[in-house]
A and B are shown apart, each in its own frame.
Chain A
Amino acid sequence: MQMHSLAFDVSHTLAGGLVLISFMMLYQDRLYSLLNVFALHALVLALSVAWQAYIQDAPHLYVTAVIALVFKAIVIPVGLHRIVKQLGIHRDIESAVGIGMTMLAGMGLVALSMVLMLRVTADADPLAREDLAFALSVVLLGLLVMVTRRNAVSQVVGFMSLENGLVLAATGAKGMPLVVEISVAFSILIAFIVIGIFLFRIRERFDSVDVSALDDFRGERR
C-alpha cells in the first residue's frame, strides 16, 4: 500500500519517537538516567527538525536543529549532570506519584491530544496534522513530568521536553516565520533557569509536608 511518501514516513517516525521518549521520561526515577533520556529526546528532535528543513527546503531550520543538538542534547545535560553532582542529589529517588498512575495518565493525555488534534485539523495536510498531534502529546507529557516531580532539576527537564514539543509543532507548520528566533529565545530562557538553579541551589520545589513551615515562609501565620 503506497499511501505516503518517504518524507512523510520519516518525519512520522521521528515525531512518534519523540512521544515514545517522553514516555520513557515518565518512569525514570534517577536523575542521571532522566538526563540521559532527555539528551536522547533532544537528539531525536534535532534529527526531526533537520529532516523538516530538508523536505521543506527551508535552510534556516538547520539553525534550529543545530541549536537543539549542541545546546539541548549536549551542553544542558552535561551542565545539569554537574549540578546534580555538586548538589549531591544524584542518589535521590523520586516517588511523588506512582509510576503506574503516571503512565496511565500519560496514555490518557496522548489519546486526548490525538482525538483533539486529528478531529480539529481534518482539512489540513496530513503531514502537518500528525505532526501537530504528536507535538501536543509531547507538550502534555512534558507538563505531566513537571507536575509529578518534586525536584527542581527534573522539573526543568520536564519543561525542556515540553519545549521540544513546541519546536516540533513550530517546525511542522510549514513556512512559519520566527521559528529560529523563538528557539533562540527559548534557549535563553532555559539557560536562565539552569543558571538560576545553580546559583540559588534550588533543590526542591519548596514543598514540605510541614504546612506550618510553609505558612511561615509566606507570612501567613498570625
Chain B
Amino acid sequence: MNPASFDPVTAVLLIPIGAAALLAALPGYRLTARLNVVASLATFLAALSLFAIDRPPPGPYVLVDDLNIVFIVLNTFVGFTTSIFSASYIAHELDTGRLTPTYLRFYHAMYQIMMFGMNLAFVSNNIGLMWVAVEIATLSTVLMVGIYRTHAALEAAWKYFILGSVGIALALFGTILVYMAARPVVGEGQDGMIWTLLIEHAAKFDPALLNVAFVFLFLGYGTKVGLAPLHAWLPDAHAEGPTPISAVLSGLLLNVALYALLRFKILLAANPAAIAPGPLMVTMGLVSVVFAAFMLYRRRDIKRLFAYSSIEHMGIIVFAFGMGGPLANFAGLLHMVMHSLTKSAIFFAVGHISQIKGTQRIHRIRGLTVTHPALGWGLVVGVAAIAGLPPLGIFMSEFLVVTSTFARQPLLAIVLVFGILLAFGALLLRLTSVAFGRPRGSSAPAEASYVPMFAHLALVLVAGIYLPAPLVAWFQNVARLLG
C-alpha cells in the first residue's frame, strides 16, 4: 500500500468493524478463532504505524496525540495477545459444552466490536463521540459477560448492565454540562464538543458549571474505572464471564474509562478558577486501594481475587494522576501499562488453570507448580509482579508513586503504603496455597498457549530492569501534557 494514502486511524477503526461482520457470518470456530487473531494482529500493526506515519491534524472527530497513542498501542497489543489466548481457551469451552458454536460466532463478533468501541473512544476528539464509543464497548462486554447464561452469569451481566448504564447516564449529563459551559465561548453546534477547541478556550469557561460537570463525569466514568464505592459490578463481571473477557476488562476497558477521565481532568486543569480535580481523584483512589486490599483477604474465588486486585491497582493509578506533577503522572502512566500487561497475563494463567481444575474455588486448587510447572510458575511470576515485588515492572512504578508522594504529602503516602502492603500480604497468602503444597484437583495436561502469558511477563520483567530511553522520553512528554 502506498504509505501516503494509508491512514492508520481509519485502519484501527475499520479493521475491527470489518472483522466483526465477517466473524458473525462465518461458521466453524477454528477458522473464526484464527481470523480473530489475524484481525487483532492487523489492528495492532496499524496502531504501531501511528509512530511512523505523520499524524493527521486534529479534525472534528479524530485526534491523535502523544497521550492517546500510548493507550491505543497498549489496547491493540493486549487485544491481540488475548485473542491468541482466547483461541486456545474456547476450544476447551466447546468441548465441555459451556459454549455452542452459535454463541461462539457471536462471541468473536462481539470481541471485535468491543475493540472497535475502545479504539474509537481513544481516537475521538469529540466528547459526545467518546461517550458513544464507551457505551459501545460497555454494551459488547455486557453481552459477553452473560454468555454462559448460568444464573450467576446473568446476575453478573445484569448488575454490570444496570450500574454501567447509570454510570454512562451520569457521564452524559456531565458531557452536556461541559457543552453548556463551552457554548457561550466557543459557539453553538459542533465546535462546542471538540476537545482540542475546548482546551484552547477552557480558561474562559464558567468555572462553576465546569466543576459540576466534572463531578458528574468523575462519578460516571469512575463507575467504569471501578473505583470504590462504585465498583460493585466489577468482581461479578470478572468472575462469571469467559476468562479472555476478564483479561480485557481488567487490562483494557478500565483504561478506556480512565482515559476519558484524564481528558476531562486536563480540561479542568486548563481553567484556573475551577476546582482542582486532584483531591477528588486522590481521595477516591486511596479509598479504592484500602478497601480492595481488605476485601482481598475474604476471596474464595480465584478470578474474583484478581478482580479486587484490579480495583486496588486502578486506585493506585487514579491516585497517582490525582497527585499530578511530572513524576507522579509518569508513574501513573507506567503503572497503568504494567498493570494491563501483568493482569491480563495472570488471567491467561487463571483461565487455563480453572479449565483444568474445573473450578474457580481457591481451596480446590493446590500445588500447581508440581502438576503444571509452566502454568504454575507463570502464575507465581505474575502474582509476584502484581504484588509489587522487585525486579518486576510494577515494583518500579509503585516505588515511583510512593516516593513522589512521600516527598509531597507524607501522610497520604503512609495510607497508600498501608494499602499496598495489605494487598501484598493477601496475594502472597493465596498464592502459596494455590501454587505450592500437595497437588489437589485434576492434573490433566494443559492444552494451553503459553506464548501470550510469557510474552507479557517478559515485557514486565524487562521494563522493571531497563526502560529504553525513547520510551522514557515519550512518557515524560505525556506526563507533562497531563499537567
Is B169 in the interface zone, CB < 8 Å from A?
A: yes
Is A98 in the interface zone, CB < 8 Å from B?
A: no
Which of B64-72, B176-184, B255-263, B285-293 forms contacts with chain A? B176-184
Q: Which of A128, A159, A181, A220 is in CB contact (< 8 Å) with B165?
A: A159
Interface positions, chain B 158-203, Cβ under 8 Å from A, are 158-159, 161-162, 165-166, 169-170, 172-173, 176-177, 179-180, 183-184, 188-190, 192-193
Is A175 in the interface zone, CB < 8 Å from B?
A: yes
- A219 in contact with B304 given A152-B158, A182-B172 (CB within 8 Å): yes
Q: Is the CB of B301 within 8 A of A219?
A: yes
Docked CA distance A2–B51 (Å): 62
Q: Is the CB of A173 within 8 A of B209?
A: no
Question: Looking across the interface, which residue of chain A has its beta carbon closest to that of B150?
Answer: A217
Interface size on A, residues (CB 8 A): 46
Which of A14-22, A63-71, A89-97, A116-124 forms contacts with chain B? A116-124
Q: Which of A123, A132, A182 is in CB contact (< 8 Å) with B128?
A: A182
Q: Which of B183, B236, B300 is in CB contact (< 8 Å) with A173?
A: B183
Q: Which of B149, B166, B239 is in CB contact (< 8 Å) with A143?
A: B166
Is B139 in the interface zone, CB < 8 Å from A?
A: yes
Question: Looking across the interface, which residue of chain B has its beta carbon closest to that of A120?
Answer: B208
Q: Is the CB of B154 within 8 A of A178?
A: no
Is A170 in the interface zone, CB < 8 Å from B?
A: yes
Is A30 in the interface zone, CB < 8 Å from B?
A: no
Q: Is the CB of B176 within 8 A of A169?
A: yes
Q: Is the CB of A177 within 8 A of B173?
A: no
Is A162 in the interface zone, CB < 8 Å from B?
A: yes
Q: Which of B151, B172, B180, B301 is in CB contact (< 8 Å) with A166?
A: B172
Per-position binary interface string of chain A over residues 194-209, scored 1 when its CB falls under 8 Å from any chain B CB and 0 otherwise = 0010001010011000
Which of A5-13, A39-47, A101-109, A185-193 forms contacts with chain B? A185-193
Is A4 in the interface zone, CB < 8 Å from B?
A: no
- A124 in contact with B180 given A218-B152, A219-B239 (CB within 8 Å): yes
Docked CA distance A136–B180 (Å): 14
Docked CA distance A194–B165 (Å): 14
Q: Is the CB of B180 within 8 A of A177?
A: no
Interface positions, chain A 142-184, Cβ under 8 Å from B, are 143, 146, 152, 155, 159, 162-163, 166, 169-170, 173-178, 181-182
A177 to chain B, nearest CB (A): 5
> What residues on A are CB-neighbors of B304 within 8 Å?
218-220
> What residues on A are CB-neighbors of B188 within 8 Å?
174-175
Q: Is the CB of B176 within 8 A of A170?
A: yes
> What residues on A are CB-neighbors of B184 within 8 Å?
123-124
B358 to chain A, nearest CB (A): 13
> What residues on B are CB-neighbors of A159 within 8 Å?
162, 165-166, 169
Question: Looking across the interface, which residue of chain A has its beta carbon closest to that of B158?
Answer: A202
Q: Is the CB of A175 within 8 A of B208?
A: no
Docked CA distance A192–B169 (Å): 16
> What residues on A are CB-neighbors of B189 within 8 Å?
175, 177
Q: Is the CB of A181 within 8 A of B132?
A: yes
Per-position binary interface string of chain B over residues 49-66, scored 1 when its CB falls under 8 Å from any chain A CB and 0 otherwise = 000000000000000000
B20 to chain A, nearest CB (A): 16
Question: Looking across the interface, which residue of chain A has its beta carbon closest to that of B162?
Answer: A155
Q: Is the CB of B135 within 8 A of A176?
A: no
Q: Is the CB of A218 within 8 A of B301?
A: yes
Docked CA distance A20–B149 (Å): 39
> What residues on B are CB-neighbors of A220 within 8 Å?
298-301, 304
Is B98 in the interface zone, CB < 8 Å from A?
A: no
Q: Is the CB of B212 within 8 A of A120?
A: yes
A204 to chain B, nearest CB (A): 10
Question: Looking across the interface, which residue of chain A has its beta carbon closest to that of B165?
Answer: A159
Q: Is the CB of B173 within 8 A of A169?
A: yes
Is B206 in the interface zone, CB < 8 Å from A?
A: yes
A156 to chain B, nearest CB (A): 9
Interface positions, chain A 15-33, Cβ under 8 Å from B, are none
A216 to chain B, nearest CB (A): 9
Is B211 in the interface zone, CB < 8 Å from A?
A: yes
Question: Looking across the interface, which residue of chain A has its beta carbon closest to that of B236?
Answer: A218
Q: Is the CB of B176 within 8 A of A176?
A: yes
Known: A128-B180, A173-B176, A221-B300. 8 other contacts (CB 8 A): A143-B166, A146-B166, A155-B162, A159-B162, A166-B169, A166-B176, A196-B158, A206-B158
* Chain A contact residues, CB within 8 Å of chain B: 116-117, 119-124, 128, 132, 135-136, 139, 143, 146, 152, 155, 159, 162-163, 166, 169-170, 173-178, 181-182, 185, 189, 192-193, 196, 200, 202, 205-206, 217-222
> Lowest 5 A-B CB distances belong to which pairs?
A175-B188, A178-B128, A219-B301, A120-B208, A206-B155
Q: List 22 A-B contacts (CB under 8 A).
A: A121-B180, A122-B208, A123-B206, A124-B184, A132-B177, A139-B170, A162-B169, A166-B169, A166-B173, A170-B172, A173-B179, A175-B188, A175-B192, A176-B176, A178-B126, A178-B193, A193-B165, A202-B154, A206-B159, A217-B151, A220-B298, A220-B304
